[in-house]
């Protein structure tokens, strides 16, 4: 009948619009960063816990407003073979960039070592990555001299990691530390040193793990 086709067409457009809104709200369409396509959406409870626990000696830990995938960085493992953050997924990581020419870095290294000794294990690891690009024998020698025994030696003698982390965290200096969950999502960033083995530091890591003690 004349006039019926426009009505049906209009109804079809309306139905498609409703379907589009439903899909957008469910996160099944591109552009909806709060939905299923957001790879770190499940980290929201951990973000809230980290934000609440960032106080005292670790008050400078900046919990992100929304977790995001950690940068895909590659570096040398303890055995000298190339590894990366993706290879270390499955546990909470405290990724720390340090250098022997950075006095604050060296000052906090014993605390990172104690943190690893106290609660490091299958659920948590400190990943301290040395970024020296010269005199490559100096960093492991300094660690031995300083009595650092529980931290595995990771290094980036090629100088690839530092600029990537600086861009990702907007942190121009050292030390820079990232808290990365077991799924590889960045929860927070610390710009500068901290007393990581203090009660506040331990409480922060346990909060990120969802532990009460």
Q: What percent of the chain has pLDDT over 90?
A: 81
Q: Which of 181, 143, 175 is nearest to 162 (CA)?
A: 175
- Whether 32 is in a domain gets the answer no
Count of structural domains, the chain:
1
How far CA 43 is from CA of 9, 15, 47, 89, 158, in Å, comes to: 43, 34, 6, 14, 32
**Residue matched to tokens 């003690």:** 213
- Whether 24 is in a domain gets the answer no
Express each pLDDT in 67-117 by its tens digit: 999 999 999 999 999 999 999 999 999 999 999 999 999 999 999 999 999
- Whether 13 is in a domain gets the answer no
For residue 164, the enclosing domain spans: 46-207
Express each pLDDT in 150-169 by its tens digit: 999 999 999 999 999 999 99
Express each pLDDT in 188-207 by its tens digit: 999 999 999 999 999 999 99
- Whether 157 is in a domain gets the answer yes
- Whether 20 is in a domain gets the answer no
CATH code at 95?
3.40.30.10
- Whether 162 is in a domain gets the answer yes
pLDDT of residue 153: 98
- Whether 144 is in a domain gets the answer yes
- Whether 173 is in a domain gets the answer yes
pLDDT at 187 over 70: yes
């Amino acid at each position: 009948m004349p006039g019926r086709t426009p009505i049906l067409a209009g109804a079809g457009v309306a139905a498609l619009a409703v379907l589009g809104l439903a899909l957008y709200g469910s996160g099944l369409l591109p552009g909806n960063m709060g939905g299923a396509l957001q790879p770190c959406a499940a980290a929201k409870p951990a973000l809230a816990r980290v934000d609440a626990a960032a106080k005292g000696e670790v008050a400078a830990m900046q919990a992100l407003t929304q977790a995001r995938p950690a940068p895909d960085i590659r570096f040398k493992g303890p055995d000298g073979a190339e590894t990366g953050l993706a290879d270390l997924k499955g546990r909470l990581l405290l990724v720390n960039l340090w250098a022997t020419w950075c006095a604050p870095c060296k000052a906090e290294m014993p605390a990172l070592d104690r943190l690893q000794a106290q609660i490091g294990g299958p659920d948590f690891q400190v990943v301290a990555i040395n970024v020296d690009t010269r005199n490559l024998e100096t960093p492991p020698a300094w660690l031995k001299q300083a009595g650092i025994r529980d931290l595995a030696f990771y290094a980036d003698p090629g100088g690839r990691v530092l600029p990537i982390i600086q861009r990702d965290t907007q942190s121009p200096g050292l030390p820079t530390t990232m808290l990365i969950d077991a799924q590889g999502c960045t929860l927070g960033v610390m710009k500068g040193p901290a007393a990581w083995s203090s009660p506040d530091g331990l409480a922060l890591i346990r909060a990120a793990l969802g532990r009460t003690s």
